[in-house]
Amino acid sequence: MPDNYFARYLPLLLQVGIALALAGGMVILSALVGKHRYSRAKMSPYECGMTPVGDARERFSVKFYLVAMLFILFDVETVFLYPWAVLLKELKMFGFWEMMVYIGIVLVGLFYVWNKGVLDWSGTPRISVGTPAMTAGPADAPGSTPVFSAPVEGSRS
């Protein structure tokens, strides 16, 4: 083992140096060798597949924000799995069952938001339990079949 404290970090420094050299070399090589055909479409700004025209203050669906918040929520919850995995042998079966309870709670949250339709981007209305029934004809008419429909978004019940 070397006596110099910084000599222990030499392999890490060497790896970072090689990675930076490779990345920089690829960028410089593509700039020198690559074809440069500029056009109006290539030089226009591109953001999330939407055309960059119109007012910058247009309204977005709340689903964008819900999905972003859910991503952050489940991402942070997933971070707790790493320390558990490192200490699993020391925690033994108690730690295993404790994490199973934790994962169960996370899955309950996932199924809840899935059931609420937050993850559904199809745009088709969903029929859920408790939706009021609308009938095609008089409610007491013999042989009439009730037609169920989901409430329209934005309407207040």
Domains of the chain: 8-121 (1.20.58)
Three-state secondary structure call for residue 52: coil
How crowded is residue 72: how many other Cβ atoms within 10 Å of its Cβ?
Answer: 10
The pLDDT value given to residue 50: 67
Cα(45)–Cα(53) distance, integer angstroms: 10
The pLDDT value given to residue 14: 96
The pLDDT value given to residue 28: 95
Three-state secondary structure call for residue 138: coil
- Taking alpha carbons only, the member of 81, 59, 79 closest to residue 71 is 79
The pLDDT value given to residue 24: 97
**Angle value at C-alpha 144, between 141 and 145, nearest 5 degrees:** 150
pTM, two decimal places: 0.44
Give 10-residue mean pLDDT values along the chain (157 residues).
79 96 96 87 73 72 83 86 89 92 90 85 63 48 49 52
Q: Which two tokens stand for residue 128?
A: 């859920």
The pLDDT value given to residue 25: 97
